[in-house]
Amino acid sequence: SLSIGIPNKVVSLPMLTVKYKNFDSDEVAKKILGKGYSKEIFNNDGLKKEIFKGNGGELIIENNKRLAYKNKGNRERVRIPNEEAAAKIANDFLKQHKLMKDDIIPDRIYHETGEYAEDGPAYKLVYNQTYKDKFLGQSYIHVYVNHSGVVAVEAMLLECEKIQQPHKKVIPATEALMGIMNTILQENKQPISINEIEIGYYFSPARYADWKEVDSGTAIPSWKITIQNGKTYYIEAYKN
């Protein structure tokens, strides 16, 4: 079933040359952990892992591309009566630590059932990156919030280097949906509800190699289809 309307506007879009955002690891550590942190560096099979610890937190940055933070300290309990309160805590954290930019937008919020929910309600907030008001995937910030406030953050971001000409018409949303529907039905329990269909840009490092070995590539106009359980499918929007 459809819980939203299907977009029917025909648009023309270019491909984008994108690269992974290169985090300045010491600068990020200073913003998130404060002064006086420890630092270890490990190199293994093309993966450079920097581990920072301080003020009850641990920050791991891999190849300057992927960021993972965990708050392991004892903090005052905060009251989180609803999703709006969790979103405010997450937004304030990202702004305070300079991770919230103009092209980062809140997308979805989930009730978390994993390790962060062992002692009360917890939420996972998903933030997506955009380019000219269209999603730019696969990039993300995930923020986990419980009664201790922000307990974890994960991020990988992209930067647009140039627009590849020419603009080309994309296939209709209905065509993209029909093309992926069998896969959706096979991979998910029924009944299935389509919660979101939108056009944007999708860069998959798997087209080239492992993300550890890829610095840049092409983001292709794609339809993003999200179903009720949060699973997302990307369908290339150019005709073959």
Q: Output the pLDDT for position 113.
A: 86
Q: Which residue has the tokens 């917890």?
A: 122
Q: How far apart are CA 2 and CA 177, in angstroms?
A: 11
Query: Within 10 A of 177 (CB to CB), how many other CB atoms are there?
Result: 18
Give pLDDT tens digits for 111-120: 988 888 887 8
Contact predicate 141/155, CB 8 Å: yes
Question: What does the alpha-carbon distance between residue 8 and residue 132 come to, in Å, rounded to a whole number?
Answer: 19
The neighbour count for residue 66, using CB atoms within 10 Å, is 18
Question: What pTM value is reported for the model?
Answer: 0.91
- More confident of the two residues 240 and 158: 158
